[in-house]
């Protein structure tokens, strides 16, 4: 069977046009969507990711609030910033750019975000909702993959889906979302023996392992 490569850039462009139209409607109703992004430290990759998010906001007409704080900022100060943003009516979504410095408890910080502003879907309330198919915000990357699959017209139900990578950000939530679609899901990870024996059986292969050339013909 010939592999089908999906054009994510084309879908992203189409979605941004749709989002901008929806934002314009909201603005006529007196609501300007606002996204706050918190960056702790000066990780080069994180700066690029944050820059991309700010650019996406600009393209869609969303107001972005960029909060960059030093790497030695205390956990208490980060939590205080989140508390202020939770109460700010101009902020409708809050993102914490990961990773955080080692002296900050990631889970405590993520749990501090108001559930209805947790647009990354990392709060335990939203994570738990994935199990029963009822979450306010699904995690962004798995949701993006789901949208990409929908563009192919392939019916996910009954398909053998193999996910390579078992992170809390992509692999695990992706598996839960596909189970809700009645796919047969296999999750492979660093301890999986003979990876190729699993991937060769996949009708749909999703890879989020951060290792180049992990999958070969």
Residue 79, exposed/middle/buried by CB under 10 A (0-12, 13-18, 19+)?
Answer: middle
If you average pLDDT over residues 104-133, what whole number do you get?
95
- Rounded to the nearest 5 degrees, what angle is found at the Cα of 215, between the Cα atoms of 209 and 217? 170
- Report the alpha-carbon distance of residue 85 to residue 34 in Å, rounded: 11
Question: Considering the entire predicted model, what is its pTM?
Answer: 0.88
If you average pLDDT over residues 121-135, what whole number do you get?
92
pLDDT level of residue 1 (50, 70, 90 thresholds): low
Share of the chain above pLDDT 90, in %: 88
- Report the alpha-carbon distance of residue 8 to residue 46 in Å, rounded: 21
Residues with catalytic function: 53, 97, 120
Residue 15 has pLDDT above 90, yes or no: yes
- Report the alpha-carbon distance of residue 15 to residue 23 in Å, rounded: 12
If you average pLDDT over residues 13-41, what whole number do you get?
97
148 within 8 A of 11, measured Cβ to Cβ = yes
Residue 130: closest CA among 81, 206, 185, 59:
185
If you average pLDDT over residues 206-216, what whole number do you get?
89
If you average pLDDT over residues 61-88, what whole number do you get?
98
Structural domains of the chain, with CATH: 8-130 (3.40.50.10860), 138-207 (3.40.50.720)
pLDDT level of residue 114 (50, 70, 90 thresholds): very high
């Amino acid at each position: 069977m010939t592999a089908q490569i999906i054009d994510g850039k084309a879908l992203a462009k189409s979605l941004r046009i749709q989002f901008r139209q929806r934002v314009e409607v909201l603005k006529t109703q007196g609501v300007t969507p606002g996204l706050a992004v918190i960056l702790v430290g000066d990780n080069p990759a994180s700066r690029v990711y944050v820059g991309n998010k700010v650019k996406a906001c600009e393209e869609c007409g969303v107001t972005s609030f960029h909060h960059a704080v030093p790497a030695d900022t205390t956990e208490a100060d980060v939590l205080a910033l989140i508390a202020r943003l939770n109460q700010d009516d101009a902020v409708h979504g809050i993102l914490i750019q990961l990773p955080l410095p080692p002296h900050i408890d990631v889970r405590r910080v993520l749990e501090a975000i108001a559930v209805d502003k947790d647009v990354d879907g990392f709060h335990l309330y939203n994570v738990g909702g994935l199990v029963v198919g009822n979450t306010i915000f699904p995690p962004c990357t798995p949701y993006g993959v789901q949208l990409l699959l929908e563009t192919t017209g392939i019916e996910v139900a009954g398909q053998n889906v193999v996910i390579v990578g078992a992170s809390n950000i992509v692999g695990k939530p992706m598996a839960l979302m596909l189970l809700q679609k009645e796919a047969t899901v296999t999750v492979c990870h660093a301890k999986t023996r003979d990876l190729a024996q699993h991937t060769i059986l996949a009708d749909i292969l999703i890879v989020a392992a951060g290792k180049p050339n992990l999958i070969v013909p």
